[in-house]
Structure 1
Amino acid sequence: MNNNRNWRVVSLISISFFIYLIFSILSFAFDIKWEPFEKVNLITDVFDKEKKSQLAQNNNTDINSPNQNGTSQNLVQDFELYKKPQFITNFYKGDSVNALAKFAEKLHQLKSTKKGKIRIAYFGDSMIEGDLLTQTLRKLLQKEFGGYGVGFLPIHSKVAGFRQTASVQSSGWETINFMDKGAKNMYISGFSFSGFGNGTFTDKTITAPPSLEKFLIYGKNNGGSIDFDGNSIPLEGNELVNAQLLSKNNATTFKLKSNSGNIPFYGVSFESENGIILDNFSFRGITGVEFRKIDEDFLKAVQKANHYDLIVMQYGVNLLFRPNDTDYSYYTKNMTPVLEKFITSFPNTDILLVSSADRAFRYNGEYQTAKGLPNLLETQARLAYDHHLAFFNLFQTMGGENSIVNWANQKPALANKDYVHPNAKGADILAEKLFHAIMNDYHNYKPKTETAE
């Protein structure tokens, strides 16, 4: 009789565990949220730990190890570091911690040898449209570490007349972009161009370069060609992304015409042979989640064609489109797969998340910082913290609460009266502050030969 009872107990436990396991698998596989399962889901706990471990490994970060320079200090994480202005953090406390250790090492090598390129992709919305902020950051970095050239230019641009650092005059192109329904695998600029278009491209950042490399960036082709300054040039390479050198001389302008209607063209680039190359990738109205339309293989092809050493993502103001919003948990859910995809596709690249700047709405008859901004900043910082990425608080750096109002109302004004966008003067100030933060982080870098001693 007792054996029969024991068998029933074992059977009941086994059946219960099996049902519990099935529900755990279904909950994890289909992202079913049920509060009783949140803290005890068997599958989620295991896979979340594995996922975080893998992401940390891909991003060359181990929270239980010394910092990436090899120093022997004990590192302690501190999430509250995100509140500090004019400071790039990876949330580790310490006097000599590098937030951008891989980038700092490459800067050190460039500074020492004067050889090689360091390429930076700076993503953002209308806050950097027309090369605002990035034009000054590029200039400061190139002055410090060498290099010249405006970098990437799209084949066609609606804000070409606004941009001071380059000229893009083009016509005849068919365009797809992030906002088109069903569109996918645009370039990382958010655009792709095709058809029998033409254009004239000019780099205005330098007038008499000793030598300037001009590249065309395009997608898969089947023996296509272009006219470059009146000469027919066959397109080489048939990768998802190709970067072909068109010329290397002191010319700062050229003309291009497509002879193939079905090849996706992405842009051109003006670059020095060595030094800093900073590409502006602005797209008005986005938040970063739009990169879900670009798959991982395409991102890996981008990195293969043009190796990026630092990726900067500056988003946020477009999440503040309703004055009383305070919950941005949906952004965490939508942005997490984007960041994971970038971490996997650019495994040896530092990624810096730049927070939203200040944005104001009218409350009780006067403009004040958006109610939800503190929550948004914490959400963005938590994304960086959870994914072992670096973080820069742009809101606090520009002065914190009501800074956009103060910037817009002071004389001379540093922001527009839309209480959203810093103007050219304000963007220059933010660029200088970010540059100094990068330099402070760089100065914490200890070359491996020194740390070995």
Structure 2
Amino acid sequence: MRSEIAQAEQAVRARTPPAAGKQARHVQQPCSRDPKTLRRFGHLTVPCLPGVRDGSHALSRFIERLDLTRRGRELTRISYFADSITSGDKITFTLRNRFQQAFGCGGPGYVAVYPLRPWHYHAQVGLTLSPGWRPYCPISHPSRDRRYGFGGIAIGHQGTGNTVKFQLKSAATSFDVVQIHFLRHPEGGAFAVVAGQKRVRVVETRGDKFREDFVRVPVPSGRELVLESVSGGVLRLNAVFLEKEGPGVVVDSISLTGARYENWSSLPADHLRAEVAARAPDLVAFQFGLNESDTGVEDNYRDLIIDFFTRMRATRPLSCLVVGPSDKVEKRNGRYRTLPVILEIARLQKEAALAAGCAWFDTLAAMGGETAIVSWYEHRPRLAMGDLTHITSDGGELMGNLIYHDLLLAVGSL
């Protein structure tokens, strides 16, 4: 895998980025000739954008932004949403390291503001909360307003003195700016941003109506950041991102155990629009399906995914990637078989992705095909757990490398 990745990175380095404000003509040719063109790179399929006549494809925005990063001008943001497959920063940790080593460090990215489960954590950032914070999450702590923030986990508190502390772990990438998403409302409180034991800024969240808002605060480079409530109002924090001003790449790891596409598609339209616009991702990747396999999928599953990504892409220019479900196996009569519902989910997700103008990564094929997770479990070190559903940290590294490799094949060719 190392040699294949090195070759893909070399191909990207050999590709000359277009001059500022211009696009390379070869980027547009295939889709301009035939809008039904599908380009394949390993296990990655890249369709043309539906209804767009300039020849753009599903990864155009991502590649254009990465070109600017390579020219030393901009930060490229990748936001990776998933269920428990990425818990503990699996897959995303590898993607972050790979992209940052190749294109520059953009910082740790998204950090969930509440540890819903012991395995919900960022590999590079520690999180410590004072008592009193109330979590909001569509899976286990629903709220009536359904405003859970960019990563699906928000926290609330009334009063002063409550803190959220972010501390870099050893060998973690540094950051020099923090972006904080919050809910502004008539009873809003205020919070202080503390870095290097100094109050860098106090943010007032009171407003005349309920609406999403955010601030970007430059902070001294250091190992620790604290958010502290400093007024008696009601404070609602929706998301926190630690990053560098750029150039470089930042990879957000957004993992919710038990989540499925329905949880994201059912968010209020204005909330989704505001959160995506504020974060401004250049590539959003979604990997779901394991939880849908427990209950089966609705008749409108394909249309639900198409509608969701259509709304996502209408928010701002971005590329989207649908990462198919990983293998999930059962044993019957002494023989292993991949659950038929996993195959059905993968088929529907692929159809939806291509129809919505998103790239598609065939995870099951990349793992080795049906029942491949059995071999992953038998491998030493183990790549999968004994439930033949979830992957280990080593498995996450391999899967992250597989996705990274195929993305680079596309970047170097399109």
TM-score by length of 1: 0.74
Are residues 1:244 and 2:244 paired?
A: no
Of 277, 280, 296, 2:269 maps to 296
In the other structure, the counterpart of 2:401 is 432
Q: Following superposition of structure 1 onto structure 2, how do residues 227-376 of structure 1 map, counting pairs within 5 Å?
A: 227-229=192-194, 233-235=201-203, 240-260=211-231, 261-274=233-246, 275-321=248-294, 329-346=299-316, 348-376=317-345
Of 143, 161, 173, 2:101 maps to 143
Q: Against the structure 1 CA distance between its residues 343 and 161, is the aligned structure 2 distance closer, same or farther, given a 3 Å change threshold?
A: closer
8 Å CA contact 2:110–2:241 kept in 1: the answer is yes
In the other structure, the counterpart of 2:43 is 86
Please report how far the alpha carbon of residue 365 of structure 1 lies from its aligned counterpart in structure 2 after TM superposition.
3.3
Please report how far the alpha carbon of residue 240 of structure 1 lies from its aligned counterpart in structure 2 after TM superposition.
3.2
Q: Which has the higher strand share?
A: 2
Give 3-state SS (helix, strand or coil) of 1:280's partner.
strand
8 Å CA contact 1:160–1:169 kept in 2: the answer is no
Q: Distance in 1 between matches of 2:102 and 2:398?
A: 17
8 Å CA contact 1:98–1:442 kept in 2: the answer is no
Q: Against the structure 1 CA distance between its residues 432 and 334, is the aligned structure 2 distance closer, same or farther, given a 3 Å change threshold?
A: same
Give 3-state SS (helix, strand or coil) of 1:425's partner.
helix
Q: Distance in 1 between matches of 2:217 and 2:324?
A: 37
In the other structure, the counterpart of 1:108 is 67
8 Å CA contact 1:160–1:167 kept in 2: the answer is no
Please report how far the alpha carbon of residue 153 of structure 1 lies from its aligned counterpart in structure 2 after TM superposition.
0.9
Aligned residue type for 1:332: R
Aligned residue type for 1:341: R
Q: Against the structure 1 CA distance between its residues 388 and 245, is the aligned structure 2 distance closer, same or farther, given a 3 Å change threshold?
A: closer
8 Å CA contact 2:108–2:125 kept in 1: the answer is yes
Give 3-state SS (helix, strand or coil) of 1:357's partner.
coil
In the other structure, the counterpart of 1:214 is 178
Q: Which has the higher helix share?
A: 1
Superposed CA offset, 1:335-391 (max 9, x none) = 343233223223x11111111110012222343211223222111111112222211
In the other structure, the counterpart of 2:372 is 403
Aligned residue type for 1:273: E
Q: Distance in 2 between matches of 1:393 and 1:67?
A: 28
In the other structure, the counterpart of 2:169 is 204
Superposed CA offset, 1:16-69 (max 9, x none) = xxxxxxxxxxxxxxxxxxxxxxxxxxxxxxxxxxxxxxxxxxxxxxxxxx9993
Q: Against the structure 1 CA distance between its residues 363 and 85, is the aligned structure 2 distance closer, same or farther, given a 3 Å change threshold?
A: farther
Aligned residue type for 1:189: G
Aligned residue type for 1:175: P
Aligned residue type for 2:229: S
Farther off after superposition, 348-357 or 361-370:
361-370
Please report how far the alpha carbon of residue 441 of structure 1 lies from its aligned counterpart in structure 2 after TM superposition.
0.8
Superposed CA offset, 1:239-261 (max 9, x none) = 83333234422212122222354
Q: Distance in 2 between matches of 1:306 and 1:110?
A: 17
Are residues 1:193 and 2:158 paired?
A: no
In the other structure, the counterpart of 1:224 is 189
TM-score by length of 2: 0.80
Give 3-state SS (helix, strand or coil) of 1:285's partner.
coil
Q: Distance in 1 between matches of 2:266 and 2:402?
A: 32
Aligned residue type for 1:344: A
In the other structure, the counterpart of 1:40 is none
Q: Equivalent pairs: percent with the same residue? A: 21
8 Å CA contact 1:329–1:379 kept in 2: the answer is no
8 Å CA contact 2:91–2:399 kept in 1: the answer is yes
Farther off after superposition, 239-248 or 433-442:
239-248
Q: Distance in 1 between matches of 2:80 and 2:328?
A: 21
Q: Against the structure 1 CA distance between its residues 300 and 184, is the aligned structure 2 distance closer, same or farther, given a 3 Å change threshold?
A: same
Aligned residue type for 2:372: S
8 Å CA contact 2:190–2:203 kept in 1: the answer is yes
Q: Distance in 2 between matches of 1:329 and 1:336?
A: 13
Farther off after superposition, 395-404 or 154-163:
154-163
Q: Following superposition of structure 1 onto structure 2, how do residues 167-186 of structure 1 map, counting pairs within 5 Å?
A: 167-171=126-130, 172-179=132-139, 180=142, 182-186=144-148
Aligned residue type for 2:398: I
Aligned length: 369
Please report how far the alpha carbon of residue 431 of structure 1 lies from its aligned counterpart in structure 2 after TM superposition.
0.5
Q: Against the structure 1 CA distance between its residues 423 and 281, is the aligned structure 2 distance closer, same or farther, given a 3 Å change threshold?
A: same
Q: Distance in 1 between matches of 2:348 and 2:26?
A: 26
Please report how far the alpha carbon of residue 437 of structure 1 lies from its aligned counterpart in structure 2 after TM superposition.
1.0
- In structure 2, the gaps of 5 or more residues are 1-23, 50-54
Aligned residue type for 1:403: A
Q: Against the structure 1 CA distance between its residues 358 and 183, is the aligned structure 2 distance closer, same or farther, given a 3 Å change threshold?
A: farther
In the other structure, the counterpart of 2:80 is 122
Are residues 1:380 and 2:339 paired?
A: no
Farther off after superposition, 217-226 or 68-77:
68-77
8 Å CA contact 2:37–2:47 kept in 1: the answer is no
8 Å CA contact 2:58–2:320 kept in 1: the answer is no
Higher Cα Rg, which structure: 1
